[in-house]
Amino acid sequence: MGLSVASFSSKPPSVREFLVTAAYDDLLLLVILLAGGLACISRGTFWDLPDPYRYKLFERPQAGEATSNGGGVSKAPRNIATKLAETSKQVVIFWGSQSGTAEGFAHQLARDCSHRLNLGVLVADVSDYDHDTLAQLSPSQYAIFIMSTFGEGDPSDNSTGFLRLLRSESGLPSLTNLRFTAFGCGNSNYKYYNAVVDQVVSSLQDRGATMFLPIGKADDAKGTTHEDFADWKTTLIRELRTQLGLVETESVYTPTISVVMDKSICLDRVWQGEPPFFQAPSDPFSRSSSRVVPLPVSSTRELTTASLPARSCVHLELDLSGHPKIKYKTGDYVAVRPTNPTTEVNALIEVLGLIGQEEAPIVIHPVDPLVEKTTLPSPTNLLALFRHHLEICAPVSRETVLTLAHFASTRTAKEYLANLGSDKASYIEFLGKNHITLSRLLRHVHEVDPSVSWTGLPLALVVESLRPLKARYYSISSSSVISPRRATLTVANNPHILPGDGKIAIAGVARTYLSSFVAPSTPIHPHVVDQSPPLSADRDGAKPLCHASICRSTFKLPASPTTPLILICAGSGIAPFRAFLYEYSHLATLYGSTRPVGRTILFFGCRHPDQDLLYKDELSQLQSSPHVRLEIVHAFSRVEGQPKTYVQDRVEERCDELVKLLLEEGAALYICGSAAMAREVGNRIGDGIKRAKNCDEEGLKKWRGEQKRSRKWQEDVWG
Q: Are residues 455 and 569 in the same domain?
A: no
Residues 112 and 30 placed together within one structural domain of the fold: no
Q: For residue 523, give every residue at least 6 positions away whose Cβ sits within 8 Å of its Cβ, in sequence order, or none.
A: 529, 531
Q: What is the pLDDT of residue 245?
A: 92
Query: Residues 28, 84: one domain?
Result: no
Whether residues 264 and 240 fall in one domain? no
In a shared domain, residues 38 and 83: no
Residue 387 lies in a domain: yes
pLDDT at 624 > cutoff 60:
yes
Residues 591 and 684 in one domain: yes
% of the chain exceeding 70 in pLDDT: 82
The CATH number of whichever domain residue 405 belongs to comes to 1.20.990.10
- Predicted local distance difference test score (pLDDT) of residue 41: 53
User: Is 220 in the same domain as 266?
Assistant: no
Whether residue 546 contacts residue 534, with contact meaning beta carbons closer than 8 Å, is answered with yes
Q: Parallel, antiparallel, or unpaired: how do β-strands 496-498 and 501-506 relate?
A: antiparallel
Q: How confident is the model at residue 279 (pLDDT cuts 50, 70, 90)?
A: very low
Whether the per-residue pLDDT at 4 is higher than 80: the answer is no
Specify the pLDDT at position 26.
64
pLDDT band at 211 (very low <50, low <70, confident <90, very high): very high
Distance, in Å, from the CA atom of 326 to the CA atom of 332, rounded to the nearest integer, reads 12
Rounded to whole angstroms, the Cα distance separating 686 from 690 reads 6
Residue 533, in any domain of the structure: no
More confident residue, 375 or 109: 109
pLDDT in tens, 307-345: 555 678 999 999 999 999 999 999 999 999 999 999 999
Contacts of 594 (CB under 8 A, 6+ apart): none
**Domain carrying residue 217:** 62-244
Kindly state whether residues 101 and 137 are assigned to the same domain.
yes
| Residue 52 or residue 195, greater confidence | 195
User: Looking at the predicted structure, is the pLDDT value of residue 582 above 90?
Assistant: yes
Least confident span in 164-173, 586-595, 660-669, 683-692: 164-173
**270 and 182 assigned to the same domain:** no
Tell me: do 72 and 195 sit in the same domain.
yes
pLDDT of residue 584: 93
| 37-47 pLDDT tens trace | 665 554 443 43
What is d(CA 267, CA 680) in angstroms, rounded to the nearest whole number? 55
pLDDT in the model for residue 468 = 87
Higher model confidence: residue 257 or residue 656?
A: 656
pLDDT band with cut points at 50, 70 and 90 for residue 531? very low
Same-domain pairing of 346 and 435: yes
Q: Distance from CA of residue 270 to its chain's centroid?
A: 28
Mean pLDDT lowest for which of 106-110, 623-627, 646-650?
623-627
Asked whether residue 360 falls in the same domain as residue 278, the answer is: yes
Q: List own/partner pairs for 211-216 with CB under 8 A and 24 or more apart.
A: 211/179, 211/180, 211/181, 211/182, 212/142, 212/179, 212/180, 212/181, 212/239, 212/243, 213/181, 213/239, 214/181, 215/181, 215/182, 215/183, 215/184, 216/181, 216/182, 216/183, 216/184
pLDDT at 719: 74
Q: Report the C-alpha gap between 509 and 242 in whole angstroms.
A: 43
Q: Residue 260 pLDDT > 50, yes or no?
A: yes
What letter would DSSP give residue 555? -
Amino acid at 113: C
